[in-house]
Amino acid sequence: MELELIRSYFPDGTNGEILCQARHLVYTIELPWLDNQTGVSCIPEGKYRLSKRYSRHFGWHLLVENVPSREDILIHPANDALKELRGCIAPVFTITGAGKGEHSRDALTMLKALIYPAFARNEQVFLTIKFYQHEHS
């Protein structure tokens, strides 16, 4: 399964949209881009494999594998990137500002409902992160 995360960067946060076969799934919020610095920056653009992960804190969620110079980058619930994220990606149903959104737990539940069956079929799931560029005519 191939997912795309199309980002827009702002000084106070990064907003995005996850698509599957060009179909909208959820929006995302992340920290601003600060050169991949641990704990304060979103992760670099690129293609990453996803896997299932469980923790007491978040329950079942997703791990973003093999992020350069980073560890434990997750897809987990959060509604305010600056207050709740350290480089991870939070799915949301509504964007309310730069790095801010709403209904993150519900958005993660919906995302897992799509992705977890692929894991059950032993399919690899990839997330390609890229920058949204407006096309000029």
- pLDDT value, residue 135: 57
Domain residue extents for the chain: 2-131
* Residues forming a β-bridge with 100: 80, 97
- pLDDT value, residue 137: 47
Gap between the Cα atoms of 43 and 31, Å rounded: 9
Tokens 């209904």 belong to residue: 103
How many residues are recorded in the chain? 137
- pLDDT value, residue 19: 98
How far does CA 75 lie from the centroid of its chain? 5
* SS3 state of residue 136: coil
Gap between the Cα atoms of 9 and 32, Å rounded: 7
Contact 50, 108 (CB under 8 A): no
Architecture of the domain spanning 2-131: Beta Barrel (2.40)
For residue 42, the tally of other CB atoms under 10 A from its CB is 27
For residue 133, the tally of other CB atoms under 10 A from its CB is 8
pLDDT in single tens digits along all 137 residues of the chain: 999 999 999 999 999 999 999 999 999 999 999 999 999 999 999 999 999 999 999 999 999 999 999 999 999 999 999 999 999 999 999 999 999 999 999 999 999 999 999 999 999 999 999 998 765 54
